[in-house]
Structure 1
């Protein structure tokens, strides 16, 4: 297997994984809120030491580029840029929703649901959701249908979808299903799944196999939203 270091700090979790040639990937994954900057590099050093590896012995660095928390995405991308530049490695940029989709299709609940298409919808704050549709493909990762969208929860397109997953189910459940008569049953939804480095790693391996590794100088965050915060006046207006 390709030796890839995968990093994600686009959510409230700090997550690092390292693929190995003849063993299961090593992983550190922990909810840290604002502490990812203090843990990320020590965790990377730990995984490399535990596998008797060095950065220069790897094939590539994979990084979750968002969309997600603005500061977290910037942190992860900056660390990946520094490590890849120092070790002269290519990078594999992975969209956060694609990584979640790669994780979802391996879960027993999703497999039991036998869904052929699904939506990943995550809380984007500011009363909006990031979402994308996917179709299940045999013997490979799910295929995203179209671009990642940023909309109000009511504008999520659920036509032709049999399963929904992501944090938007927790934050906006009462607003997500206004366009359909029968909301998804508990066996066809997963509100708990979030992004982790193993999902980034799965996507990165597929990208590597397709020859999609790129020069680190081309790496940049994936921003779907131009405006990242309300002004004080907008917050006052929003809350009356």
Structure 2
């Protein structure tokens, strides 16, 4: 894929903030709203509004970028299903982007951070974390891939010179490593747009059917059947 892509749609619903952006040539339009459960009803109308404002048809897009996770289970399912539906309907390939990479890119773009520990609140006294080193990486390119981890705040490690970035400070600031710069950052659609050309140049776009979420924490809830099975397994053996 060429890095000259200039008709892009990007959205992220992995946090409590819904973020959508459209790029048409040198023009970028960005909108934000309430995320979480509300994003399932507001994302599509917002996308349609932005495309109309930019004078773009879905089928004319070079790619659809979306935050694939980790993040809110409901939000990730919304993002993936919308990316799949739009991609199938318009015959456009999709670009799954790690949300923690988008957080790190936002920290680099807004605060000049070069070595970033990206953190997102995973609830349940845990954070999603990944390290990204932008040193020597040209603007618009992505650093080497990092495997996101699910950690307690006390388990997060970072050396001197690294910056903590994300949305986990309100809940876990005291437990996170001290003596390091901290910047608030979210996986914005603008960050996805900035990353997209480099990721597309690496051939990381996929067919819509492969718009899968990255959960990291596989499950936080069991189905009714799974709960019943767990109860049965926990029962003492019968003596009859």
Counterpart of 1:42 in structure 2 is 45
**Aligned alpha-carbon RMSD (Å):** 2.0
Alignment-derived partner of residue 208 in structure 2: 216
Asked if residue 226 in structure 1 is aligned to residue 229 in structure 2, the reply is: no
CA contact (8 A) 1:60 1:91 kept: yes
Distance 1:142 1:49 in 2: 30
TM-score, normalised on structure 2?
A: 0.84
Q: 1:83 to 1:116 in 2, by over 3 A?
A: closer
Aligned residue in 2 for 1:131? 129
Decide which structure has the larger Cα Rg and report it. 2
Determine if contact 2:119/2:130 at 8 Å carries over to the other structure: yes
Aligned residue among 166, 170, 182 for 1:189: 182
For 1:135 and 1:156, how far apart are their aligned partners in 2? 16
Aligned pair in 2 of structure 1 residues 174, 12: CA closer, same or farther (>3 Å)?
A: same
Name stretches of at least 5 consecutive residues in structure 1 with no aligned partner.
232-240
Residue in structure 2 matching 1:93, options 93, 96, 101 = 96
Query: Hey, what's the Cα distance between the residues in 2 that align with 1:197 and 1:207?
Result: 15
Q: Which residue of 2 aligns with 1:236?
A: none
1:171 alignment partner in structure 2: 171
- Which 4+ residue blocks in structure 1 deviate beyond 6 angstroms? none
Long gaps (5+) in structure 2: 224-240
Q: Distance in 2 between matches of 1:158 and 1:124?
A: 19
User: 1:144: Cα distance to partner?
Assistant: 4.5
- Write the distance in 2 (CA, Å) between the matches of 1:51 and 1:145: 32
CA distance in 2, matches of 1:42, 1:226: 30
Partner Cα distance (2:8, 2:117) in 1: 28
Measure, in 2, the Cα distance between the counterparts of 1:145 and 1:210: 12
Question: Aligned pair count?
Answer: 218
